[in-house]
Amino acid sequence: MEEMRIQKYLSECGVMSRRNAEDAVMRGRVEINGKKAVVGQKVVPEIDEVMVDGIIIGQNKNSKKIYMMMYKPAGIVTTMSDEQDRVCVADILKSAQIEERVYPVGRLDMYSEGLLILTNDGEVANKLMHPKNEISKIYHITLKGELSQDTIKKLSEPIEVDGRMTSPAKVEIIELKNGKTKLRIEISEGRNRQIRRMCENLNLIIIKLKRVCIGKLNVGTLKPGQFKYLNNNEINYLKEL
C-alpha cells in the first residue's frame, strides 16, 4: 500500500486538520507502532498502528460521514478527551450515541463559547481550517467599559500573533450600555486566541466571548450544550468551499 505523511493520514481519518495534526505530533500526542511520531513521518495505512492520545486511529473510507454543529458552553474543553479530566466536547456528545468518531474542526478556548463544527470528513475539515480559504468567523464580544471610537478603531488594526501580522478585523458596535460594550468582530484567519490577543493588546477586559458564525453557518437558536446534525444545504456548502 502507498505510504502517506502522518499529518495527511490523520486528516483523512477525520481526526483533525493537517495543521492541528502537525501540532499534535510536535506535542508528542501521536505514536506510530508504539513510538513517538515526528513531523513528516510516513505511515502505511492498515499496516502501521497509529495512536492519538492513546486511542488507536483507523482509516475507513467507507465510514459514514457525519457533520454536526454544537453550541460549546464556556468552561468546556474543545477536545474529545482530556488528561486533566476536565469536561470536554465528547462529554456533551455522549447522548448522541454516534457510532462514527467525530472531531471538532479548530478550537474555541475553554472560556469562550459558541459555534463549533464537528465532523469525521478530513477533506471538509481541511477546507475550513486552511488559511488560503479565508473562511470568515464572526464573534459577539462583551467588554468592560464603554469604549471610545478610537479604541474600537485600534481593535480592528493588525497585531502580531506568533511572529506574523494578522489581517485587519471588521469591528462594529452592537451596544454601548451600563458600563459595557458589545461588539461584532469578523476575522478570516482564526489564529491562536486571536480575539483575546487583540483585546489584551489594548488592555481590554473580556466579559463574554461568543462565536456566532463560521462562514455561512450560524449557531442560530442552539443554546449552550445543544447540538444538531447539519442539513443537506449546510453539508453541500461545506463540501463546495
Question: What distance in Å separates the CA atoms of residue 14 and residue 22, rounded to the nearest whole number?
Answer: 14
109 in catalytic set: yes
Annotated active-site residue in 23, 53, 82, 109: 109
The C-alpha cell of 14 is what?
Answer: 477525520
Between strands 113-119 and 206-214, the pairing is parallel
Burial of 218 (0-12, 13-18, 19+ CB in 10 A): middle
Question: What distance in Å separates the CA atoms of residue 128 and residue 136, rounded to the nearest whole number?
Answer: 10
Question: What distance in Å separates the CA atoms of residue 217 and residue 238, rounded to the nearest whole number?
Answer: 9
**DSSP sequence for 163-187:** TEEPPPPEEEEEEEETTEEEEEEEE
The C-alpha cell of 162 is what?
Answer: 506568533
Distances (CA, A) of 7 to 1, 41, 97, 108: 17, 8, 28, 21
The residues that are catalytic are 109
